[in-house]
Amino acid sequence: MRIVTLGKARDAAAASDFRQQLAYGSLLLPLALIAISLLLGLYEIRVETVAKALLSLVVPQAAEGISSTELTLILRIRLPRVLSAALIGAALASTGAAFQGIFKNPLVDSNLLGVTSGAGFGAALALLLGGTALMVQGFAFGFGLLAVMVAYAGSRLYSSAPLIVLTLMGILIGSFFTSLTALTKYVADPLNTLPAITFWLLGGLTGVTWSSLPLLALITLSGSAFMWAVRWRLNILSLGDAEALALGMNPTRLKLLIILCATLMTAAAVAVGGVIGWIGLVIPHAARLLVGTDHKRLVPMSLALGASFLLVIDNISRTLLPAEVPLGILTGLVGVPILIVLLRRSQTVW
């Protein structure tokens, strides 16, 4: 009898170890997809050319024998775009997982507090003023943060239940900025500014260059490192404040730090990629199906799946039609059916 029990314990431990390895191993998937994505596009490039071009970043002599068109295409156009797709996907999915945990609600993502609405207005305003691409990004980032800061300031007016009031404020401020965005669209020139605003709001990585990457990479990588570090604590936060307190934590402070971190990551992602929905909502659910609800495994899996999903979607967007399909449309078209299937299959997961 004792032996049987021990055997069961070992099987269970093995299953748990396997999910752990799956979560960490999945981080290799986006790296592989980045390499594949560099090959894909309407202009065909051979594998060795891509390899040589990448090598030339370290050893300049490796670029010999590659046409300057191909070199530009790989290093100046595809590489920043592919890298930003991976970073944005990872940021949106991991912050979605974190928000679902701290708000104890599997149906929210990091837009809950209005960051995307604020960023959308910022970008629309910059486009209305005829700003450059960098100005559009700066405005989107700034107004995204501003929206959440206003919501936070509003919630501080009340002393009790800060997180519930913060959620309510976020929803209010979000709809306020959505109205402001509608106003800018209403007054925008319908021949050139209005389409520009509309396209930006649908999301896309067409104009991404190296200049937008440093901030995005810095925020996404350091933010992901923080999420990674506190990932096990998300389990306890998702049980509610009373239990977190009883387990010796300061739930309010940690939640605010996570919200700050997630807001910076989301604002940076939206500033570069525009409004790309569904990733923050759908990817954590897909990750839960694969590795379970333990955030120790869920955060790495969400990072990996989010990056991979947006890489695939962006490849479809670049190659499906001669003209690019906005990302926000594709994530919705692909994301909704996935969510419906997941909701059916994962009834037992939450």
Partner 1 sequence: MLEAQDIHYSYTPEQPTLRGISLTVCAGTVLYLLGRNGCGKTTLMSCLSGILKPQRGSIRLCGRDLHSYTPAERARQIGLIPQLHTPAFNYSVREMVLMGRAPHLGLFAAPSRADYEIAEAALESVGLADYRERPYTQLSGGERQLVLIARGLAQQCRILLMDEPDAHLDLNNQQRVMERVVRLAASGLAFIITSHVPNNALHYADRVLLMKRGAALAHGAPADILTEQLLSAAYELPIDVIRDGELPRAILPRRTLQG
Contact residues for partner 1 (CB under 8 A)? 5, 8-9, 12, 15-16, 101, 104-106, 229-233, 235-236, 238-240, 242-243, 245-250, 254, 288, 292-294, 296, 348-350
Nearest distance from residue 70's CB to partner 1, in Å?
A: 44
**CA neighbours closer than 13 Å in the CB half-sphere of residue 99:** 28
- 178 or 293: CB nearest partner 1: 293
Nearest distance from residue 109's CB to partner 1, in Å?
A: 15
Nearest distance from residue 177's CB to partner 1, in Å?
A: 28
Maximum Cα interatomic distance, the chain, rounded to a whole number of Å: 79
Nearest-10 Cα torsion for 34, 35, 41, 45: 160
Place of tokens 């592919």: 82
- 36 or 239: CB nearest partner 1: 239
- 274 or 284: CB nearest partner 1: 284
How many helices (H) and strands (E) would you count in the chain?
A: 16, 0
Nearest distance from residue 281's CB to partner 1, in Å?
A: 15
Nearest distance from residue 229's CB to partner 1, in Å?
A: 4
- 17 or 189: CB nearest partner 1: 17
- 207 or 240: CB nearest partner 1: 240
- 8 or 345: CB nearest partner 1: 8
Residue 265 is classified by DSSP as: H
Cα separation, 68 vs 46, in Å, equals 15
CA 134 → CA 49, 115, 271, distances in Å? 31, 19, 9
Distance spanning both ends of the chain, measured CA to CA: 33
Nearest distance from residue 301's CB to partner 1, in Å?
A: 14
Residue among 31, 32, 36 at smallest CA distance from 319 = 36
